[in-house]
């Protein structure tokens, strides 16, 4: 069984994060050394000191591996600009002056306003339009992934019922075996949501976490609302039938996908040695 130690590399957090994501993307562990060098040269710490540093490390790793799957090699400011779209936690709209220097197109228009939450098709259309305004992101989204794997990222802003919302949608798609993972980060002035929707093995599941933490009673109410809203898209036989399971829980400000992956057996990750 291959591990960071077996490959002659440190068994630190950087190796664990990379190997976790490399397994998800079906990349050979022998590439670990090359990816480690590239992230260390970008200023990523091998042992993050707090959750925010850990989230930034995961974002850079996802940006690096996602671009590698597209047959591209990003580095320096370009990698940093792309990696910001993989940052877990509350998405923040970048300063247009900084973003423009990193390759962004024209400054965005004011957020669209709705009395009620728009349906999924409308949100997708808005996300694609806003994503196309960032030159680098538009380019990266247009590249297909190798071996039937695709990653798409869409940031967008909405005003729903007078509440300002910042959203970041990340899609990870595999054609064989077919699977889909959607990470949606949603921030309002009061709460931050992280919604994970996964479709695999003929099951569709949704996990929603909220930060800051709320009471058990509030979670129960949110559970009922989430089940109702998410299953409103269910239709007749042959179309989307609804979710097999919806879970709502308290979460963290900077959720770690690497930690989530570590809860499952990893064939070549051995942090302890």
Within this chain, do residues 130 and 219 fall inside the same structural domain, yes or no?
yes
The conformational region for residue 202 under phi > 0 = left, psi -120 to 50 = alpha, else beta, is left
Pick the range with the lowest mean pLDDT from 54-63, 81-90, 103-112, 198-207. 103-112
Q: What's the pLDDT tens digit per position in 146-204?
A: 888 889 999 989 999 999 999 999 999 988 888 899 999 999 999 999 999 998 778 89
| 42: its two tokens | 């970008």
Same-domain check for residues 120 and 247? yes
Q: Are 70 and 176 contained in the same domain?
A: no
114 bridge partner residues: 160
CA angle 240, 112, 59 (to 5 degrees): 70
Mean pLDDT of the 44-48 span = 91
Predicted structure pTM score: 0.83
Confirm whether 42 is domain-assigned: yes
Q: What is the pLDDT at residue 271?
A: 42
Min mean pLDDT across 115-124, 177-186, 205-214 is at 115-124
The pLDDT of residue 89: 64
Report the domain count for the chain.
2
> In this structure, are 24 and 77 located in the same domain?
yes
- Report the pLDDT averaged over residues 91-101: 42
Residue 96 covered by a domain: no
Domain that holds residue 267: 1-88+254-273
Give pLDDT, residue 240. Answer: 56
**Cα–Cα distances in Å, from 256 out to 21, 53, 181, 238?**
11, 11, 15, 35
Compare 119 and 82 and report the one with higher pLDDT: 82
Mode of pairing for the β-strands spanning 192-200 and 203-211:
antiparallel
Residue 256 scores a pLDDT above 50: yes
Band (pLDDT 50/70/90 cuts) for residue 98 is: very low
Do 123 and 245 fall into the same domain?
yes
Is the link from the previous residue into 28 a cis peptide, with omega within 30 of 0? no
Same structural domain, 18 and 118: no
**70 and 195, same domain (yes or no):** no
* Domain shared by 29 and 152, yes or no: no
What mean pLDDT, rounded, does the chain reach? Answer: 83
pLDDT of residue 144: 85
Cα 259 from Cα 5, distance rounded (Å)? 19
Q: With a cut of 80, say whether residue 79 has pLDDT above it.
A: yes
Q: How far apart are CA 62 and CA 256, in angstroms?
A: 12
> 1: pLDDT confidence band, cut at 50, 70 and 90?
very low
Range in 34-43, 180-189, 205-214, 259-268 with the lowest mean pLDDT: 259-268
Taking residues 41-48, report their average pLDDT.
90
Cβ neighbours, 10 Å, residue 270: 17
Instruction: State whether 31 and 75 are in the same domain.
Output: yes
Mean pLDDT confidence for 121-128:
86
Better pLDDT: 198 or 232 = 198
């Amino acid at each position: 069984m291959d591990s960071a130690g077996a490959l002659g590399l440190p068994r630190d957090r950087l190796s664990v994060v990379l190997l976790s994501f490399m397994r998800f993307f079906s990349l050979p562990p022998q590439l670990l050394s090359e990816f480690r060098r590239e992230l260390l040269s970008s200023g990523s710490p091998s042992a993050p000191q707090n959750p925010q540093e850990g989230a930034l490390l995961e974002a850079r790793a996802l940006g690096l591996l996602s671009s590698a799957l597209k047959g591209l090699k990003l580095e320096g400011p370009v990698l940093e600009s792309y990696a910001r779209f993989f940052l877990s936690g509350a998405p923040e709209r970048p300063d247009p002056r900084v973003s423009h220097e990193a390759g962004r197109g024209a400054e965005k228009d004011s957020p669209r306003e709705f009395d009620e939450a728009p349906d999924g098709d409308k949100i997708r259309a808005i996300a694609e339009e806003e994503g196309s305004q960032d030159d680098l992101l538009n380019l990266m989204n247009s590249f297909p992934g190798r071996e039937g794997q695709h990653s798409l990222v869409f940031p967008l802003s909405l005003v729903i019922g007078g509440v300002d919302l910042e959203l970041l949608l990340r899609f990870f798609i595999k054609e064989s075996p077919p699977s889909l993972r959607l990470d949606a980060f949603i921030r309002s002035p009061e709460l931050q949501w992280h919604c994970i929707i996964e479709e695999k093995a003929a099951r569709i599941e949704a996990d929603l976490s909220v930060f800051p933490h709320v009471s058990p009673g509030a979670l129960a109410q949110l559970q009922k609302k989430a089940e109702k809203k998410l299953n409103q898209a269910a239709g007749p036989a042959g179309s989307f039938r609804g979710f097999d399971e919806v879970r709502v829980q308290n979460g963290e400000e900077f959720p770690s996908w690497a930690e989530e992956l570590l809860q499952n057996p990893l064939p070549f990750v051995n942090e302890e040695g």
